Structure 1
Amino acid sequence: MEYYNNTTLCISYDNMVPDIVTKSNYDNLSQRKQLTVLRRGCYGTPALIDYESLPERIKTAIKLKYGPNLEKVAMANPIKKAIVPDVKAVEFFKTHRLPGGELLKPEKQKQYADTAAVLNAIIHVVNDRTGFKKTCGGNASGVWEGLKAALLAIRSEYKYALPGSVRRLRQKVEDYKKEGFISLVSGKIGNSNADKVQEDEQQATMRKLLRDHRNLDNAQIASLYNMVAEKLNWKRVTPATIGNRRIDWDVVTYSGRRGETSFNNVVAMQVKRRAPQFPMLYWTMDGWDVELLYQKTTTTITDEGKTKTVTTYHHRLTVVVVLDPCNKYPVGFAIGTHENPALIKEALRNAINHTAECFGMHHKPKQLQTDRYGNGALKDFYESVTAKYTPARVKNSKSKVIEPYFKRLNKKYCQLLPNWAGFGVTADKNSQPNDEYLNKIRHSFPDEAECIKQIKRIIFAERKEKYELYKQLWSDLPNEHKLPVSEVDYLLSMGETTGFTNRLSAPGLIVTINGIKRTYDSFDSNFRKLSHEDWTVRYNLENLQKIVVVNSTGTQQFLLSEKYEQPMALAERVENDAIELKRVNDFNKALKSEVMQSIESDAQKVEQLFIHNPQLDDTLSKFVLVDSMGQHKDRKSANRLQHNAQKLLKKQNDKLELQEQKTFAAEQLEYLESKTDFSKYLNA
């Protein structure tokens, strides 16, 4: 039902045919002029028939179908047409939180969104000064009465929440205009008036008890709270109420009960990290007490002087693993009885050495992250083996991506071995090994050496499985991210020391490593000039051909090579012997030449000193400083000095070369004689 031109009550053709009359009956009524069509129908717009022009029997049928209050139904039509879903209202009530932090229930969200849509329609209709107002008699009071009737007509279709009286309806519309969507939320929802704890003082007291470091239970807190409540005339609370508040206030009370570290790891927002896409961009490392038992026999002497042997079976080894999270590749490891700085250094040394096996030369990672164990003593070492050292935050277990890796190794490899010790102490007891059976087979547990082999097999199996992918990803890594390590840098950062200092002697630098004396030297003449220095030696046990030496102040360092040993017997000479001998001779020639040049330069400077300072002529120094070639009175004498020095150096070099040629000829002859059997020619 609706009003035509806001004055005449009408029913549409669609609402009358065929529910009220058939199409043939409608056509007959139209032909007999027993109904009046006020608006002819067209595409999308139904025809409107004047209700009063219809026969009484049809009016009765309409009232039976649509109810007796046809005017109210007609008044609701403009409202229904104006109701449009409000998307902003739907989103607002979907995300709105009550004072306690909870969201509105879905049915409330729907109710408030419908109410906003209806209020929007009411405001639209009220602002229409000709349409709905004319229908309602042309005055404001009539409009609001009409709205009241219209709202009742659509009550079953829209679940709005609006007051029934005109006065309160008008006030609701005004509040909505001023405050918006929030004005529709009932103050009773989430209102703390329904709680037993109402005032700030009460809530603060309860939170204080919930936050207590002794971690009191609900009954204890309720008892303590009620002691205060009784004195201040507050309502008493039950342990159940405390339990509800514990849940509501968990975030603000958790740190007091569990501590800051637990709060950071459990309550605070965590940073989600992804593994690097390429190798060598990021390494992490940690110690793992491997869940493999081994037996150990110790022998002691009792007070009576007797020998006592005891075998125990509970021992476990520790492996420090350097992990590249790119594809969980164990790039380095070291095995020991417990984690310590020496074991950590050994693991990193193994990792850097393994990069040479993988990529052809030593490389260091772009970033290294460790926990703070031994950070004071190891910090300089960590910084020397990486471009960027980033220690993990104290007690930040979430940053250790290596710990889940250890759990996987334990399950994938260790659990399959008979001496498996089980999962951690916090694991489900049903998943642990049978300790009774372990006790029965304890005598078959491996010793320490065999257990080390077990652990190495696990690491090598991991490497074998992931090696090819690791190398492939390395080849895809941009060159600017690759950080090769020179021999000097490697030995300076990773090398071991003898614990003593050494001085250069004529044979070279003689160093004792693991009880064996080795001789090192350098073809850098500057090293010869520093024979007075005390040198600290850094070496790599896996390759003792080269070492690095550093002086006590750290201002001088040299890479030395182990001296080449020439055979005493000419028959044992090989081709490379002559090459190495020539290197030494060439170095000595160059060194002598440098010495002679220094002599020449100094002589010229002293000569000029005496020429320009006649007052020195009668001093004893003149007789000492002027060399055996004569007094230097002019530039001609100086040129003679230079010529004589060069002549002397050439004479020495020629003599040395002649001696070398004779020696080489003799060596060749002796070598040929040693290789030729003359007896077969004599017997021929």
Structure 2
Amino acid sequence: MKFLDNILYLGFAEMVQAIVNATGKEKEKVEVYLRKAKSTGTKCWAFMNDPDDRRKVLIKYENLKDEYKEMVKELFGNPYDYMAKEPIKRMVQPDQKAEAFFLSYAYNDNKFLPTEHITKYVKAASWLNMLNDINQNKKLIKKQLNLNLDQFWFHVCDIIKSEGIDLPASYQRLRNKMNEYQQKGYACLIDWRFGNSLAKKIDDDVLKKLLEHPNQYDDVMLCYLYNSWAKQNGKEAIGARIVGLRRKEWEHEIIAGREGWNAFNEKYVRQVKGLPARTMHPLALVESDDYNFNYYFTDPDMQGGSKDLQRYVGYIVADSSIGLVLGASYRHAKAPVFDMVRIAWIDAMYYIRSITGGDQWYLPFEVKADHWNRKNSFPFFNSIARFVKPAVGNKHRGYIEQLFGSDHAKRAEKLAAHNELNYNGNNLTARRTGVNVEALKANAKRRPLTGDHASGQINKFLYYMRNIPSITKSDLEAPSREAMFKHRWNGLNEAQKRSITDLQFLHLFGFAHSPQGRSVTITNRGIEPVINGTKYSYDLPDYVSMQHLIGSKVTVVYDPYDMSRVLITDHDNIRFVAKEANLQPRALVYQYDGSRQALDMILNEKKAQVNKVAALSAARTHEIDSKAILLAGLAPKELLAASEQAYREESIQAGNTHLPEMTEVEEDAFNVYKNIFNR
């Protein structure tokens, strides 16, 4: 899509996509139809050559029939709205430092922020980072977005309003928040309930709520309603003229509620341009999708003719810049389950770490996927990186579909079945099967069995995808895709990498262990969950400072690839990484090198726990008024003697060289207590 003289045009391929998506017709037939319409000059189609590239054809959007406009909206959403918002959203990069700050933020005696608030604050910080960068280099607005300042801020405020970002949706209040953020940093985003002061609500919000009512009240009625509220809340009254001015000023914020989304959408005009995959750096875009492996396996436990036609379904995570498979999961079934998505991403994270140095986790900058299991998958993808919801049925949202059908993937898949001869070829809609069907059938009784044999072959296919040379007709000496990734990764600077901590990794990708919906209790033995029938034992990182957590109900979040550490959280005030317990030998004969030192460390920690409790108790005892103990009532002999001594010491420290004489009443009372204890 693009604009020429403020007129919206669709690309020829985009129009083909829209028709194919809506009607299900073959792509070739739709292309023939449009070319014929162009040559005959059909009235409802306004074609022109792209002035930037005469080889390309453009189609005028407003000249389309309503049915074709609906097809475009079904695929892309409202094109004006799409063109206006997407380039601005792409400028916002997730702030991992903000996430680390909010994850570790503590208040009110080591309480932590709820997870939902962390997500909200990180998103707000990411937007403020982008806005402050733009504010320092305003030329980027014209250069990258082709907008003037007024248009840019208009779109920004509207996105904040429509997407519920935790920032002011009016220009002036947003600029004030930007200035506050520059001065105070991440802390200014935290709600007053978590140790921060809440910004005072202003009357603009009340007036906006009245203005956006779908009944479209006139200015005089709105003035009356607002002034009734203002009188009850100690605010100044306003006139109908002020209401009219504000209605025009805030039109971009209230028009959706006041006039409807159609009116709102018609206000937006924006051009969106995409970059080819080869221009992206590694992990700039990562895509994921389900994939049916093109192999037949034999299930010996099945009866009937289908026992030799068993298949595996997988879920693949791939880097789009190179087409490198980063991670995968699979199972013997016809359809995937959501846990396969999470396992595939964990597998990808481990693979990325292994080829980038082996000691650091890295996240992608953007994620793309389809609508499958959107209830679970969309929030998961949003937590990893920037995720834009794709149009329903859009098979051209990125590059992973092309990867599955590429020559490279077919080579890897065939090589992995070179001896097994169980590769079943292309799907039924393909023009060619890509395999000798007679040989496939003849080898049916010698196919690999489901289970370990099948897993071995699938793992071999994934290995080939990464490590066979990525050759083409023009380059028969090309390196593997893994080697290409490593080479390009080593040329990146730190700003082009998104590193995260191990705590963040567990927070994003870990599996929550909830046995029968119950929590796990922290004891003086640490945390001891039973996960998948195996009992694990984890120690608190510091028993001295964390002993107050004993008895707390928590959730154990674990990494199925590495059970040596887990994330412990109650999703509210408790959040830390616990490591596997260091078990000590019970008998001297079983001691080993270093076991005594480890035991000494544990014993010293236990001693420190006792000393801490004793010190706190002593501090509380010292604060007791010794004179009050002497005179207040019956007390043990030892405490009475200690109080008498403390009373005398206090008097000396106060500057008296001689002990003050007790009053007659004090002396009588003291002697009564002394006589009682001396009996």
TM-score by length of 2: 0.51
Pair 270,597 (structure 1): closer, same or farther in 2 beyond 3 Å: closer
Quick check: 1:298–1:310 contact (8 Å CA) kept in 2? Answer: no
The answer for the alignment partner of 1:373 in structure 2 is: 372
* CA deviation after TM superposition for structure 1 residue 273, in Å: 2.7
* CA deviation after TM superposition for structure 1 residue 424, in Å: 2.8
Pair 262,383 (structure 1): closer, same or farther in 2 beyond 3 Å: closer
1:548 aligned residue (567, 572, 578): 567
Report the Cα distance in structure 2 between the residues aligned to 1:479 and 1:438, rounded to whole angstroms. 50
What's the CA shift string for 1:404-459, capped at 9, x where partnerless? 1111255223345422222233321x455454553343223322233332221121
The answer for the alignment partner of 1:335 in structure 2 is: 330
1:402 aligned residue (400, 403, 419): 400
The answer for the alignment partner of 1:497 in structure 2 is: 512
Say whether residues 1:596 and 2:614 are aligned partners. yes
The answer for the alignment partner of 2:311 in structure 1 is: 316
What's the CA shift string for 1:241-276, capped at 9, x where partnerless? 9995769649766873797169858xx999543225
1:447 aligns to what SS in structure 2?
A: coil
Say whether residues 1:460 and 2:463 are aligned partners. yes
The answer for the alignment partner of 1:413 in structure 2 is: 412
AA in 1 matched with 2:532: N
Say whether residues 1:634 and 2:634 are aligned partners. no
* CA deviation after TM superposition for structure 1 residue 533, in Å: 0.7
Structure 2: state its 5+ residue gaps.
1-21, 26-35, 47-58, 80-270, 468-479, 654-679
The answer for the alignment partner of 2:90 in structure 1 is: none
* CA deviation after TM superposition for structure 1 residue 396, in Å: 2.4
TM-score by length of 1: 0.50
The answer for the alignment partner of 1:98 in structure 2 is: none
Quick check: 1:291–1:410 contact (8 Å CA) kept in 2? Answer: no
Quick check: 1:297–1:310 contact (8 Å CA) kept in 2? Answer: no
The answer for the alignment partner of 1:445 in structure 2 is: 447
Pair 243,481 (structure 1): closer, same or farther in 2 beyond 3 Å: closer
**Equivalent residues in 2 for 1:36-51 (5 A)?**
none
Report the Cα distance in structure 1 between the residues aligned to 2:540 and 2:38, rounded to whole angstroms. 80
Q: Return 282-291 or 507-516, whichever deviates more.
A: 507-516
AA in 2 matched with 1:486: T
* CA deviation after TM superposition for structure 1 residue 638, in Å: 11
Report the Cα distance in structure 2 between the residues aligned to 1:311 and 1:638, rounded to whole angstroms. 98
Say whether residues 1:350 and 2:347 are aligned partners. yes
AA in 1 matched with 2:621: A
Report the Cα distance in structure 2 between the residues aligned to 1:490 and 1:528, rounded to whole angstroms. 26
The answer for the alignment partner of 1:580 in structure 2 is: 598
Identity of aligned residues (%): 17
The answer for the alignment partner of 1:119 in structure 2 is: none
What's the CA shift string for 1:355-391, capped at 9, x where partnerless? 22122222222222222222221333323333x2333
The answer for the alignment partner of 2:533 in structure 1 is: 515
Report the Cα distance in structure 2 between the residues aligned to 1:628 and 1:255, rounded to whole angstroms. 98
What's the CA shift string for 1:178-235, capped at 9, x where partnerless? xxxxxxxxxxxxxxxxxxxxxxxxxxxxxxxxxx9999xxxxxxxxxxxxxxxxxxxx
Say whether residues 1:567 and 2:565 are aligned partners. no
The answer for the alignment partner of 2:67 in structure 1 is: 256
Report the Cα distance in structure 1 between the residues aligned to 2:622 and 2:639, rounded to whole angstroms. 10
Say whether residues 1:286 and 2:289 are aligned partners. yes
1:404 aligns to what SS in structure 2?
A: helix
Report the Cα distance in structure 2 between the residues aligned to 1:339 and 1:577, rounded to whole angstroms. 46
1:335 aligns to what SS in structure 2?
A: strand
Pair 214,334 (structure 1): closer, same or farther in 2 beyond 3 Å: closer
The answer for the alignment partner of 2:488 in structure 1 is: 473
What's the CA shift string for 1:41-89, capped at 9, x where partnerless? xxxxxxxxxxxxxxxxxxxxxxxxxxxxxxxxxxxxxxxxxxxxxxxxx
Structure 1: state its 5+ residue gaps.
1-211, 216-239, 300-307, 641-684
Quick check: 1:295–1:445 contact (8 Å CA) kept in 2? Answer: yes
Report the Cα distance in structure 1 between the residues aligned to 2:546 and 2:373, rounded to whole angstroms. 36
Pair 406,635 (structure 1): closer, same or farther in 2 beyond 3 Å: farther
What's the CA shift string for 1:563-597, capped at 9, x where partnerless? 21222332332231122112112212322222122
Pair 277,628 (structure 1): closer, same or farther in 2 beyond 3 Å: farther
* CA deviation after TM superposition for structure 1 residue 279, in Å: 1.6
**Equivalent residues in 2 for 1:82-121 (5 A)?**
none
Quick check: 1:538–1:549 contact (8 Å CA) kept in 2? Answer: yes
AA in 2 matched with 1:256: E
2:498 aligns to what SS in structure 1?
A: coil
AA in 1 matched with 2:546: F
Pair 439,261 (structure 1): closer, same or farther in 2 beyond 3 Å: farther
Pair 373,626 (structure 1): closer, same or farther in 2 beyond 3 Å: farther
Report the Cα distance in structure 1 between the residues aligned to 2:652 and 2:368, rounded to whole angstroms. 66
2:537 aligns to what SS in structure 1?
A: strand
Report the Cα distance in structure 1 between the residues aligned to 2:640 and 2:404, rounded to whole angstroms. 77
Does 1 or 2 have the higher relative contact order (CA < 8 Å, sep 6+)?
Answer: 2
1:558 aligned residue (576, 582, 590): 576
Report the Cα distance in structure 1 between the residues aligned to 2:640 and 2:531, rounded to whole angstroms. 47
AA in 2 matched with 1:516: T
Pair 311,579 (structure 1): closer, same or farther in 2 beyond 3 Å: same
What's the CA shift string for 1:594-623, capped at 9, x where partnerless? 212211221122327x74xx9x94457x77
Rg larger in structure: 1
* CA deviation after TM superposition for structure 1 residue 400, in Å: 2.7
AA in 1 matched with 2:339: A
Report the Cα distance in structure 2 between the residues aligned to 1:452 and 1:383, rounded to whole angstroms. 30
The answer for the alignment partner of 1:274 in structure 2 is: 276
2:309 aligns to what SS in structure 1?
A: strand
1:405 aligns to what SS in structure 2?
A: helix
1:260 aligns to what SS in structure 2?
A: helix
Report the Cα distance in structure 2 between the residues aligned to 1:372 and 1:341, rounded to whole angstroms. 12
Matched residue pairs, number? 390
The answer for the alignment partner of 2:554 in structure 1 is: 535
* CA deviation after TM superposition for structure 1 residue 639, in Å: 11
* CA deviation after TM superposition for structure 1 residue 529, in Å: 0.9
Say whether residues 1:485 and 2:482 are aligned partners. no
AA in 1 matched with 2:293: V
Report the Cα distance in structure 2 between the residues aligned to 1:391 and 1:214, rounded to whole angstroms. 22
Pair 255,284 (structure 1): closer, same or farther in 2 beyond 3 Å: farther
Report the Cα distance in structure 2 between the residues aligned to 1:241 and 1:509, rounded to whole angstroms. 71
1:606 aligns to what SS in structure 2?
A: coil
RMSD after superposition: 4.0
What's the CA shift string for 1:607-661, capped at 9, x where partnerless? 27x74xx9x94457x7799688445753726999xxxxxxxxxxxxxxxxxxxxx
Q: Return 541-550 or 248-257, whichever deviates more.
A: 248-257
2:528 aligns to what SS in structure 1?
A: strand
AA in 1 matched with 2:344: A
